Amino acid sequence: MKAALPDLQMILAKKLNRNLRIAENVIFIGAFAFVMYNLVSTYGVWMYQSIKGKGYLGAIIDPFVKHQYFVSLVSIIVILNSTLVLWEVFSVLIRLLRQEKNDTKQGYAKYKAIFNKVAVHYKASFIAMLALELLPKLILFHMFWNWLPHFQKFQLFTVNLKWYSWIYGYLCYELASWLFHFSSHRVRFLWCLHSPHHAPSEMNLAVNWVHFFAESYYSAFVRLFVLLLLGVNPAMFAAVISIDSAWGIFIHVSERTIGDGRLGVLHHLIITPSHHRVHHAKNPLYIDTNFANVLPIWDWVMGTLQPLRKEVHTDYGISRELDVTNFSDLYFGELILLYRDVKNAAGIKNKLLYVFMPPGWTPNSSAETAGAIRRRFLKMHPALAVTNRKKVVDLIKARLNGYQAKPKEAETLAPQVVDVVD
């Protein structure tokens, strides 16, 4: 009887998992229809209105005439993002349908195969998007503006709105975003909230929709705290966030849409899709790098800027085994694993360390953290560790060592000079 109990539990668990997957698939079909209808209908209406000088065309021209150039810039990026996301989804569907034409499967089996392939590409994205649509008060934009008046009470100083203050304000926002993003990879509890965004096994614009809703609380808190601490004028926030968010969406564009994603000379000036593909890769060389959204300055300063290397092909996803069509595991899996580790840890100290130390840390070893994995890889492949930043840092160190060596040479030569004079 005792032996039969685990078998019964296993059967019940499998049945529960099967029912859960069926429910997820039903939700995915509904989410796909809902989101695509909204995207296509909205895009069509705005394109039609553009013929009359309104719509997308008006969104670009009207602000430009009023000298609101940043609004025109954001509008251009938003239009580009809307066009590309529809292009990506429809191109995937057309490609899969063409592939299945040559397949021997018939009837239900054929459509099931198509559905499973579409689910690999888009299931997580569309279900997560539906969740954000149904929970609008929890997304970043709303939390940021709801909390702003409360944080503003503690602001010690505020910069003016001169042109140089705008540069300062944007650099501060990029720093705040870098700190939020970096900590989301290096603190395990925060990684549990951020990991769904990294779970998809390919890059496309719909990956932007895969975010754990509660992550917005932390991101809003960090950004507001840093910006107001550094005296950034709240009047700048709308412009800065709009530009950063619009470009942050674009850099998720797939390889099928924009080849290598370097964007020519822009690759040396701003964060491009090529940079962000590196960020989403789980290769030892690429893991936990390129945290910036628009400007690479803080990645360069902090030593986390990593260019895409032709000899190291990007492998997307997270390090543990994951079926990307299992939305429950993708969305909640890391939290469940953290709960198990905390529950089984010995002592309150280890329990807390599991929460706040980097993913991969255990009381016995830090060898499986991202930082340790990357250091081991670079030690084995030193040629891949050479970057422009490393060259500059090595040059500065060499110069400093040279300046330090000169006084020492003078000290050793001084007694000899005295001896000759004597």
Distance of CA 203 to CAs 138, 147, 277, Å? Answer: 25, 32, 7
Instruction: Burial-class residue 250 by CB neighbours within 10 Å (0-12, 13-18, 19+).
Output: buried
- Identify the H or E element spanning 74: helix 69-101
Distance of CA 184 to CAs 56, 193, 280, Å? Answer: 35, 8, 13
β-bridge partners, 362: 365
- Which tokens belong to 320? 């543990």
Q: What is the rounded CA–CA span in Å between residue 44 and residue 50?
A: 10
Give the residue from 242, 191, 237 showing the smallest Cα distance to 214: 191
pTM for the predicted model, two decimal places? 0.85
Q: How confident is the model at residue 422 (pLDDT cuts 50, 70, 90)?
A: very low
Residue 248 has pLDDT above 70, yes or no: yes
| 97-135 pLDDT tens trace | 888 777 666 767 778 888 888 999 999 999 998 887 776
- How confident is the prediction for the chain on average, in pLDDT? 86
- Residue 386 is predicted with a pLDDT of 76
Cβ distance 175 to 222 under 8 Å? Answer: no
Cβ distance 127 to 34 under 8 Å? Answer: no
- Which tokens belong to 197? 């965004």
Torsion of CA 233, 234, 235, 240, to 10 degrees: 90
Span of 198-207, 226-235, 406-415 with lowest mean pLDDT? 406-415
Span of 7-11, 124-128, 141-145, 375-379 with lowest mean pLDDT? 7-11
Residue 5 has pLDDT above 90, yes or no: no
Q: What is the rounded CA–CA span in Å between residue 404 and residue 408?
A: 7
- In degrees and rounded to multiples of 5, residue 267 shows phi and psi of -60, -25
Average pLDDT over residues 344-357: 95
Residue 200 has pLDDT above 70, yes or no: yes
β-bridge partners, 316: 281
- In degrees and rounded to multiples of 5, residue 335 shows phi and psi of -65, -40
Q: Is 281 helix (H, G, I), strand (E, B) or coil?
A: strand
Q: Which residues contact 331 (CB under 8 A, 6 or more apart)?
A: 124, 128, 196, 212
- CA torsion through residues 187, 188, 190, 195, sign: positive
β-bridge partners, 281: 316
- Which tokens belong to 199? 């779970």
Distance of CA 66 to CAs 58, 71, 72, 285, 340, Å? Answer: 12, 10, 10, 47, 57
- Which tokens belong to 73? 């810039």
Q: Which residues contact 341 (CB under 8 A, 6 or more apart)?
A: 354
- Determine the angle formed by the axes of helices 163-186 and 188-198, rounding to 10 degrees: 100
- Residue 290 is predicted with a pLDDT of 96
Give the residue from 194, 199, 244 showing the smallest Cα distance to 215: 194
Instruction: Burial-class residue 97 by CB neighbours within 10 Å (0-12, 13-18, 19+).
Output: exposed
Q: Is 69 helix (H, G, I), strand (E, B) or coil?
A: helix
Q: Which residues contact 24 (CB under 8 A, 6 or more apart)?
A: 123, 127, 326, 327, 328
Residue 82 has pLDDT above 90, yes or no: yes
Average pLDDT over residues 348-366: 95
Q: What is the rounded CA–CA span in Å between residue 19 and residue 108?
A: 19
- Residue 305 is predicted with a pLDDT of 94
Distance of CA 19 to CAs 99, 118, 129, 130, 171, Å? Answer: 29, 20, 22, 20, 49
Give the residue from 161, 387, 135, 390 showing the smallest Cα distance to 286: 387
| 69-78 pLDDT tens trace | 888 999 999 9
Q: What is the rounded CA–CA span in Å between residue 335 and residue 194?
A: 11
